[in-house]
Structure 1
Amino acid sequence: MNIKSLLLGSAAALLAVSGARAADAVVVAEPEPMEYVRICDVYGAGFYYIPGTETCLKVGGLVRYEIAFDDDDDGWKKETRARVNLDARSETEYGTFRRFIELEYSNNGGSTGETFFIDPDTGLIDSSGGYTGDSSTTKIRYAFFELGGLMVGRNDTLFDGDLGGEFDSGGGDFVNQIRYTFDAGNGIAVSLGLEEEDRNFDYIPLITGKVSVSQGWGSVDLFAGYDDRFEEFALKGIARIKATDALTVELLAAYESGATWFGLEDFYSGYEWSVGGYLKYQVNEKLRVGFGGQYFADAHAGTFAADGTALTTVSTGLDDWQIGAVIDYTIVENLNAKLALNYGDGDSGRFNDVNGDGSFNGFLRLDASF
């Protein structure tokens, strides 16, 4: 073997080894494409698609700070609230499938109560009223789902509705319920609800109904509710009329045959009839002012036995009234201020001070929403 043959053999061996290593080369996998959040404009501003689904979600809420007063108060009543809501929607063969949740957290500061201290004269432990510390509450305001015209869960009663002021009362509250709304078109809708005002009370729910008409000139809503506890019913009508582009006139009329859960004062406490009105004027894009009042006639209340059994409705024949003014101002986008001042008087004492005279009440409220 000569040197030339040795060199040629070495070169061939090196090429073979290099080829084998090239066949075993590591292949670096390309990164998977990122899935960015997509905007969902089907249901309005603020919705986006939940990644990997066709469900659209909107996150919202507000922070509220309120300073309230009443003639009988010994000082300011301040409260802070926080609300967080989730609104999820998607399309199905039965229509829009919506799921909505709203949680509320509130704090009204400390309060007075029983505290203990050492009496300097006797050296014994004594007690008296004093500061009891922080006071916070948490609750579910809304938790329901809608599919087409069907709604199931916790929501405002179908009987809910009042004027735009802060002096008025329309009856009703949050309640667990099942309702169905039929959209007849042309701004007309008819709703029927079955609502449970009390857990484990009986097998007959509250029966509620509503007819709504909404047109270019305004709207009219007619409400009805039946409560089997006293076998009584309540009726209500609310009209909102656009007198001009800036001025809206609101009118309310209500009737209660007796004590019902829908009472204008409280549950099973109300009035035989009531009328009210409210004028709302849009001064400019930031400022809105309103003024109105409501009259409450022939007060009544339901009476109960010791075991909670409903007995009868007792009518007192007493009348009350309240008027109020509201100023709404948008400071910046999503930050609104509301100042409300009310004055009430009457025979039942509902709006009176400790001396039986008419009294003022009101609040300043700041809402920062998102």
Structure 2
Amino acid sequence: MARQAGAANADFGAHADGHRFTLDDRLPADHLANALRSDVVEGLTASPKSLPPKWFYDARGSELFEEITLLPEYYPTRAEQQILTRRAPEIAALTRAMTLFELGSGSSRKTRLLLDALTAAGTLACYAPLDVSPSALEQAGAALIRDYPGLRVAATVTDFEGDLSLPPRAPGPRLVAFLGSTIGNFDAEQRHSFFTALRHTLSADDVLLLGADLVKDREVLVRAYDDSQGVTAEFNRNVLNVLNRELDADFDPDAFEHVALWNEEDERIEMHLRSRTAQSVKLPALGLSVDFEEGERMRTEISVKFRRDSLTEELGRAGFTVRHWWTDEENRFALLLAVPSR
């Protein structure tokens, strides 16, 4: 479907049913192509080499990630779902949110627990997802306005890593959800910048709902990112297919093996692709040739795991006060509510 024009001036008030979904596209047409080129040049010419995890998620990568969430070893999705199932009515009662923002919403499926609870509480007027994918937003928006007859969906196509400004006319109080422990993909400096930028966009009545995976047994963590069926390995190598397609590169995905390891010092899982042989890869679209030594690793993701005290302190330094902290029954994952500090 085509991106809707003119939605940047959309009103957040009442709309006729035919206009309950709008899409504000903030990204230039070449934004993702330019961002990919920049990230690949920076990452593959660095030592050690790395790529940001956001490039996993082409159509095939998104399919593989959905498979990962169903694997017995991958607990985060189920654990967060368990907390939301139990706590969504409480979250709705505490926040009384009229607008639910979601950062990196994708398909918005998990969010339905919050939408149901806020609708039942009688406060919700608008759901405002932010994502880089217009097609994901359009598909989710069509489903939501069908299933929630009174709901207004005001979607924004943006890269929230660089643009965290929330539409100012969204009715408050506002609940900003950042789920799935995506915050774990940021290192400490990136997290501080992110939390600080988000704090500056929120008013005194707004609330942050944050999902965070917790530190736990090393073997449990590693298995979650290196499953017995090899789905995560295929997901990891698929980023090379993205580079081949988008940059005319000649990576051989089978020449790299998937590695997941626990970094004890930084308390994070790291995913790498390790070169099976000495090889040279060409990326003609960038005028770049990259050499890999046998056994050389290229990091493709970090997934930081958190402790309650240190995460609370991090949020405090950025101007947030944690009001509520919930975990699943096995204390694997946390959802927290944080408000702007007075």
Normalized against structure 1, the TM-score is what?
Answer: 0.22
Q: Whose radius of gyration is greater, 1 or 2?
A: 1
Higher strand fraction (1 or 2) = 1
